């Protein structure tokens, strides 16, 4: 057996002990194997059903939805999306989200890679203290500080502004990004760096020209998981924005629900628009997302 594990092993013991019974044993084993695969498939169905149900519902007419016998709509209703885009305000929310997420990801990559490089490679007094501080920041999560953060934004005149939201989002994303990138820089060979220093490169040149290109896979992983986090962020957006013209898509979605009381089919199309970019990103980059999430969890 190529891989030993409890379940497959129990299947094989079942066959060896019942070898004498022949056909019955084989039938039993077949039953066990198919029960096992059915379980796997049922769990996959439960995991995937809600999104499938949302997507097919978003293409139905309101009559089809309420009659509830349709799976695939007789005629896909793409105008549901058009209505959500125009009347639902998603022509504003989606570009906003794209803007916030992109700018914040770039800022996080720059600030976190600089900090991560310094913490990995430059020896200076207080390095341990800085690491400790970052750890300490990670264990105080946003739900415990968002009231005070709101007060700060009001005090410095950045409540209900794009700048305030982006700065707060970047700050919130930094600690984990620094941890991941620091780990990445620590794994790089030192020789290239030493050679560059001998050639007379400044510290910034070494970082920018030598280390950053080497860390490209790490930067990509951080970029993908941070983009996902920023796109899905809700609490800070709820607290920061009053103006609908500034809202990102998650905030816009709850605004749409509460103020316009839209019909169900439009609501489903609006939700689908909020989630489709994430689904596409996950399909394309699932490997680095899964890896990044696991690294972040173990480090934090």
Partner 1 sequence: MAVAAVTRPRSRSRATRRAVTGYLFLLPALALMGVFTFYPFVQGLTLSFQSWDGVGATSWVGLSNYQRVIGDNIFWVSLVNAGIFGAVGFVLGNILSLGMALAVNSLRRGSTFYRVAYYVPGVFSVVVVGMMFAWILQGSVGILNRALGAVGLEMLQRRWLTDPETALPSVALVYVWFHWGFGFLLFLAGLQGVPRELHEAASIDGAGAWGRFRYVTWPQLIPVTTIVSVLTLLGALQIFGTVQVLTNGGPGYLTEVPTLRIYKEGFQFHRFGVAAAMSVVFGSILVALSLVQIWLGRRSYGEGE
Interaction residues for partner 1, span 272-291 (CB under 8 A): 274-275, 278-279, 281-282, 286, 289-290
CA–CA separation, 228 and 101 (whole Å): 8
Residue tagged 């309420």 (tokens):
66
Assess 106 for contact with partner 1 (CB under 8 A).
no
Binders of partner 1 among 158-217, rule CB under 8 A? 167-168, 170-172, 174-175, 178, 203, 207
Span of 74-82, 126-134, 192-200, 214-222 interacting with partner 1 by CB under 8 A: 126-134
CA–CA separation, 285 and 1 (whole Å): 32
Span of 24-32, 60-68, 182-190, 213-221 interacting with partner 1 by CB under 8 A: 60-68
Assess 10 for contact with partner 1 (CB under 8 A).
yes
Assess 224 for contact with partner 1 (CB under 8 A).
no
Q: Which is nearer to partner 1, 3 or 23 (CB)?
A: 3
Q: Residue 299 burial by CB count (10 A; 0-12/13-18/19+): exposed, middle or buried?
A: middle
Assess 43 for contact with partner 1 (CB under 8 A).
yes
Q: Tell me how far, at minimum, the Cβ of 118 lies from partner 1, in Å.
A: 4
Residue from the set 93, 179, 184, 231 that interacts with partner 1 by CB under 8 A: 231
Q: Which is nearer to partner 1, 19 or 23 (CB)?
A: 19
Residues in contact with partner 1, counted by CB under 8 A, come to a total of: 98
Q: Which is nearer to partner 1, 23 or 258 (CB)?
A: 258
Assess 83 for contact with partner 1 (CB under 8 A).
no
Assess 269 for contact with partner 1 (CB under 8 A).
no
- Letter string b/e over residues 98-108, b meaning 16 or more CB atoms within 10 A of that residue's CB: eebbebbbebb
Residue from the set 125, 128, 189, 200 that interacts with partner 1 by CB under 8 A: 125
């Amino acid at each position: 057996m190529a891989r030993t594990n409890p379940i497959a092993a129990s299947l094989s013991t079942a066959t060896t002990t019942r070898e004498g019974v022949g056909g019955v044993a084989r039938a039993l084993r077949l039953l066990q194997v198919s029960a096992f695969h059915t379980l796997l498939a049922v769990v996959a169905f439960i995991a995937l059903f809600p999104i499938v149900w949302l997507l097919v519902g978003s293409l139905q007419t309101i009559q089809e939805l309420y009659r509830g016998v349709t799976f695939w709509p007789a005629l896909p209703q793409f105008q549901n999306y058009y209505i959500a885009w125009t009347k639902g305000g998603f022509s504003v929310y989606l570009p906003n989200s794209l803007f916030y997420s992109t700018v914040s990801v770039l800022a996080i990559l720059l600030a976190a890679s600089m900090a991560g490089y310094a913490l990995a490679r430059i020896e200076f007094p207080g390095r341990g203290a800085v690491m400790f501080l970052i750890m300490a920041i990670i264990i105080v999560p946003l739900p415990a500080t968002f009231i005070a953060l709101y007060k700060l934004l009001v005090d410095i005149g950045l409540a209900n502004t794009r700048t305030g939201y982006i700065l707060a989002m970047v700050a919130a994303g930094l600690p984990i990004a620094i941890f991941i990138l620091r780990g990445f820089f620590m794994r790089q060979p030192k020789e290239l760096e030493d050679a560059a220093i001998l050639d007379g490169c400044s510290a910034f040149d070494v970082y920018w020209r030598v280390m950053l290109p080497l860390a490209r896979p790490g930067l990509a992983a951080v970029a993908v998981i941070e983009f996902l986090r920023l796109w899905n962020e809700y609490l800070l957006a709820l607290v920061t924005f009053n103006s609908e013209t500034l809202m990102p898509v998650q905030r816009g979605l709850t605004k749409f629900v509460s103020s316009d009381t839209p019909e169900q089919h439009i609501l489903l199309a609006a939700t689908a628009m909020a989630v489709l970019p994430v689904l596409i990103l996950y399909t394309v980059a699932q490997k680095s997302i899964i890896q990044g999430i696991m690294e972040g969890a173990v480090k934090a």
